[in-house]
Amino acid sequence: MLGKRFSKVTFGSVAGVMLMAAAACGGGNSGGTTASEAPSSAGASSAAPQGGLKVGLAFDVGGRGDKSFNDAAYAGLEKAKTELGADIKELSPAADGSNRGDLLRQLADAGYNPIIGVGFAYGEDIKKAAEEYPDIQFAVVDSASNAPNVTGLLFAEEQGSYLAGVAAALKSKSGHVGFVGGVENDLIKKFQAGFQAGVKSVKADAKIDVKYLTPDGDFSGFKAPDKGKLAAEKMYQDGADIVYHASGDSGLGVFQAAAAAGKKAIGVDSDQRQTVKESDLQKVIMTSMLKRVDVGVFEFIKAFQGGAKGGSDTVYDLKVDGVGLATTGGEIDDIKDKLDAAKKDIVDGKITVPAKP
């Protein structure tokens, strides 16, 4: 299952990372912490929820089966079912995401607690739902907490993307690479910024093509493989030999373009060399930038079971291996030392990775 697939991470394991969520009910946003700074839920007070654990999760656009972001979240939910005995329920939004708030209310009315919204687009809907259901704990992936009963699960995407950029620059024979973003918003620009910085740290004169599939607010860019294929095809035709995507389900089109051109691609969120079923597409995925949404989701649920409350954020960064690179296929094994060195410099503060292009 997917939960085991995520175990193949370069540069260490995320095992032992515990979610904070210690702010008292009624408190505001107390500011973010990294997962390594977060107190464990072990030994939590008598506030632990009574009765069976019922966990609801609302996917982002594309839903379960995207082989990327949503599937990473589901892996954490499934682990909670297996290891914590949780009764789980998952819902997917309409293609345009217009019913996100309705999904949260459906879960709340059905007695699910906690409830997790997958993706920053749930930010406002989670805020409203948290006000309507003050006795329910919520979490939202990629959005800061905005209520005393909300926990933000945040990731240092730019740091993991920096390593992807280093790998791309070291492996590129043409000195020309590309980046395909699903939606042109601040979150996906973090991927772009980190990737560009990583590439330039190795080859200052490298050429980097950038293409976004849809503008900010149009989330269809995360579920448009045809657009992803066209964007990548153009980059390969123009001389790029490696393309990194941060476009959800649209990445399938990027892989198809890479296979047709005999070039390479870099996946995102999940170890896509394992989640993509087509063998011809697996072979073109040099590595994937892992964003451990599975860990964030599972640790939030585990902390809730222990009695923890929301009200602030947890950041999963390179220090706790909340992001990293997949090693399936062995294509980056020969540059491991250089990748390890880059990671160490980021963790030690010698390199500050930009979050904006």
Segments making up each domain of the chain, as ranges: 2-156+293-320, 157-291+323-347
Cβ within 8 Å of residue 119, ≥6 positions away: 59, 60, 61, 69, 140, 141, 142, 143
Instruction: Supply the pLDDT for residue 171.
Output: 98
Instruction: Supply the pLDDT for residue 48.
Output: 38
CATH number of 157-291+323-347: 3.40.50.2300
Closest by CA to 221, choosing from 241, 201, 245, is 245
Q: Measure the CA angle with vertex 213, ends 208 and 216; round to 5°.
A: 105
Between the alpha carbon of residue 230 and those of residues 32, 261, 283, 288, the distances in Å are 39, 12, 20, 21
> What angle do the packed helices 225-237 and 251-261 form, to 10 degrees?
40
Instruction: Supply the pLDDT for residue 165.
Output: 98
CATH number of 2-156+293-320: 3.40.50.2300
Closest by CA to 42, choosing from 313, 303, 295, 312, is 303
Q: Which residues of 203-235 are buried (b: 16+ CB within 10 A; e: fewer)?
A: beebebbbbbbbeeebbbbbbbbebbbbbbbeb
Closest by CA to 251, choosing from 278, 333, 329, 156, is 278
Q: Do 157-291+323-347 and 2-156+293-320 fall under one CATH topology? A: yes
Q: Is the pTM for the entire model greater than 0.75? A: yes
Q: And the tokens for 205?
A: 């004169």
Instruction: Supply the pLDDT for residue 66.
Output: 80
Averages of pLDDT over runs of 10 residues in the chain (357 residues) are 36 37 31 43 35 91 84 95 97 91 97 96 95 97 91 97 98 98 97 98 98 95 96 98 96 98 96 94 98 95 92 91 96 98 98 97
> Rounded to an integer, what is the distance from CA 306 to the centroid of its chain?
25
Q: And the tokens for 9?
A: 């991470």
CA atoms within 13 Å, Cβ hemisphere of 206 = 31
Instruction: Supply the pLDDT for residue 35.
Output: 53
Q: What is the mean pLDDT of the chain?
A: 87
Instruction: Supply the pLDDT for residue 311.
Output: 83
